[in-house]
Amino acid sequence: MLILNKVKPKTNTTKENYFNIWRMITIVIAIILTVSILGSGYFAYTNIYLTLGNAQSIFVMESNIEKDNVDAIGYEKARDNINKKKEIILINKNLRNIFEYATVATTTLPNATSTLELN
């Protein structure tokens, strides 16, 4: 009889369900912790590491200051285009309205008795 009691499966389902609930809660907490650690790492990478890299590149650019060649012709063209943009253009009020038609187009020929028959 002692052997049968050891081999016999337990039928206490409330205790097993209780531990299953805690197991699921533990898994959810572990997932939340993992996501928060990964999110913190991404935040540190984007806001600290990349900022330091950008600051270093700015520092390197400032230490290598050289004269830049200015394109005088391009500058003059750009200045002229800006001035042209500021000019007021008067539009003639007697322009033709392209959406107003003097005659109405028909789909039938003048000699036809119906749209399907032609003379």
The string of DSSP letters for 50-94 reads: HHHHHHHHHHHHHHT--PPPP-HHHHHHHHHHHHHHHSPPPPPTT
Q: What angle do CA 13, 14, 17 make, to 5 degrees?
A: 85
Q: How far, in Å, CA of 15 to CA of 85, rounded? A: 81
Share of the chain above pLDDT 70, in %: 65
Q: What is the mean pLDDT of residues 15-25?
A: 81
What is the tens place of the pLDDT at every residue in 52-84? Answer: 888 888 887 777 666 677 788 999 999 999 999
Q: Is the pLDDT of residue 89 over 90?
A: no
Q: What does the pLDDT read at residue 118?
A: 47
Q: What does the pLDDT read at residue 78?
A: 94
Q: What is the mean pLDDT of residues 2-13?
A: 56
Q: Is the pLDDT of residue 25 over 80?
A: yes
Q: Is the CB of residue 119 less than 8 Å from the CB of residue 112?
A: yes
Q: How far, in Å, CA of 83 to CA of 47, rounded? A: 42
Residues 6+ apart with CB under 8 A from 16: 10
